[in-house]
């Protein structure tokens, strides 16, 4: 995988998952990510690091954080970043296994491990002293009524007024998901303030992100087990409007949720404010198998396009970021645009009953919902069966028409409906000829709408 990438941040060889520490800091966007540098499988987590001037052109800088302490010896799990006094503060969950597997030290026996919350401070956002500048802030919980000792993780930190706030995902006895709230005056010393349990938090809550948007707060999180287990993923990224009192950390979510992305491959999204103050979201696109044609060998895992989060009439929109439009506007094609690396941007309007086929990827409108089917582009040599991995997806009923913006690259199709009213993003695999090649040859110049 190349050091420089456009539009989508991909694993620079081997494994990538959750976005971490997403922040605009000292004139650059920093995107850290869960990274296993030894194989295209999940293992002992490090933080990889990529930077960008515009959310479109990315440069990988290598490994930023890695295990060095007794409390994080088995993994630097997900977390977030803030700027404080000109420094970059990286908060993360530190992992220590009770016991490692004998034949694979990168996995815990019976999935048992201790989780605590830790901090690394960098003066420039480029150099990170993993030996001297780490600090364990919140130790392993000894009170399961407050926080689970294993499954409490993914600190998201922000400043509001004169205080720093932290939300953590947790669980009560691995049965009910739980959201924890901590406060700090200095970003170092933290006090537990409040918690919230909810039927839509699943059995374990992961990767919470709470932020204000207009007159409401928005909670983006990834609960486990909120939809029936159909053989695919049983944990999904959702978003909800809520009210939040910073003084008491009383939190009341509205009694409904929507998926962040109805393709159901996107997981563990994280947001930050961009250079113009817009709330921007990037999520991990889960990949069930590795891609073998990387410049640095096999790679697995990539990030979505950056999306602006907006709220209108009680609905949360995820719109294409303006910098993505700026990138495609540099090309000369009027309606369907091709970027420097052959990544396509297509536009279409679907009427009820119409179908659009892009290199085998099927999109249609039915009962005023947008539907997709990727089964024709999910073939990998030696891995023919993916199970019921959400091959067919659909949005809720649309509010009006069905205007589409479709972004396609060899292993991902992202479909934005009605300016971000809903999004369906699907990971794809094509044998031999890529889906991208199929589009360039079959789609442009003669739209396949029936």
Just list the catalytic residues.
18
Only one residue has tokens 């790679």, namely: 299
**HSE of 417, CA atoms in CB hemisphere, 13 A:** 29
Nearest to 5 by CA among 37, 47, 48, 46: 48
Cα 331 from Cα 168, distance rounded (Å): 43
Cα 336 from Cα 405, distance rounded (Å): 10
C-beta of residue 217 within 8 angstroms of C-beta of residue 272 = no
| Helical residues (DSSP H) of 275-375, grouped into ranges | 322-329
Only one residue has tokens 């990827």, namely: 361
CA distances 270 to 78, 232, 238, 402, 431, Å, are 10, 23, 12, 27, 32
Count CB neighbours of 46 within 10 A.
23
Only one residue has tokens 């926080």, namely: 147
Cα 119 from Cα 134, distance rounded (Å): 6
Cα 325 from Cα 332, distance rounded (Å): 13
Radius of gyration in angstroms for the set of CA atoms belonging to the chain, rounded to a whole number: 21
**HSE of 197, CA atoms in CB hemisphere, 13 A:** 12
DSSP 304: P
Only one residue has tokens 């309007």, namely: 349
């Amino acid at each position: 995988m190349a050091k420089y990438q456009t539009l989508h941040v991909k694993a620079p060889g081997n494994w990538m998952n959750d976005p971490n520490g997403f922040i605009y800091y000292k004139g650059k966007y920093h995107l850290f990510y869960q990274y296993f540098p030894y194989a295209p499988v999940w293992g002992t987590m490090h933080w990889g690091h990529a930077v960008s001037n515009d959310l479109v052109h990315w440069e990988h800088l290598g490994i930023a954080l890695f295990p060095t302490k007794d409390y994080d010896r088995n993994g630097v799990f997900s977390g977030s970043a803030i700027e404080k006094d000109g420094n970059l503060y990286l908060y993360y969950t530190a992992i220590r296994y009770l016991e490692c597997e004998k034949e694979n030290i990168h996995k815990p026996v019976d999935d048992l491990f201790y989780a605590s919350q830790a901090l690394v401070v960098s003066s420039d956002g480029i150099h990170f002293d993993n030996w001297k500048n780490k600090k364990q802030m919140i130790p392993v919980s000894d009170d399961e009524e407050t926080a689970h000792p294993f499954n409490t993780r993914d600190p998201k930190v922000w400043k509001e007024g004169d205080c720093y706030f932290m939300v953590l995902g947790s669980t009560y006895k691995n049965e009910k998901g739980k959201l924890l709230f901590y406060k700090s005056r200095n970003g170092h010393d933290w006090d537990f303030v409040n918690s919230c349990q909810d039927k839509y938090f699943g059995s374990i809550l992961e990767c919470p992100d709470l932020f204000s948007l207009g007159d409401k707060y928005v909670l983006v999180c990834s609960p486990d087990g909120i939809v029936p287990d159909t053989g695919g993923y049983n944990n999904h990224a959702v978003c909800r409007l809520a009210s939040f009192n910073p003084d008491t950390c009383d939190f009341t979510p509205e009694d409904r949720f929507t998926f962040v992305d109805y393709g159901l491959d996107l997981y563990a999204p994280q947001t930050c404010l961009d250079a113009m103050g817009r709330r921007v979201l990037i999520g991990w696109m889960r990949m069930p198998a590795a891609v073998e044609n990387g410049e640095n060998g096999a790679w697995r895992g990539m990030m979505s396009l950056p999306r602006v989060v907006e709220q209108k009439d009680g609905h949360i929109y995820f719109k294409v970021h303006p910098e993505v439009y700026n990138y495609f506007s540099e090309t000369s094609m009027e309606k369907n645009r091709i970027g420097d690396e052959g990544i396509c941007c297509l536009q279409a309007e679907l009427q009820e009953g119409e179908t659009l086929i892009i290199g085998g990827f099927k999109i249609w409108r039915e009962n005023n919902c947008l539907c997709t089917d990727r089964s024709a582009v999910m073939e990998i040599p030696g891995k023919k069966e993916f199970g019921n991995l959400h091959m067919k997806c659909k949005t809720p009923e649309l509010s009006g028409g069905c205007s589409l913006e479709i972004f396609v690259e060899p292993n991902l199709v992202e479909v934005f409906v009605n300016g971000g009213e809903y999004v369906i993003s699907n990971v794809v695999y094509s044998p031999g000829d890529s889906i991208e090649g199929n589009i360039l040859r079959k789609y442009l110049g003669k739209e396949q709408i029936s």
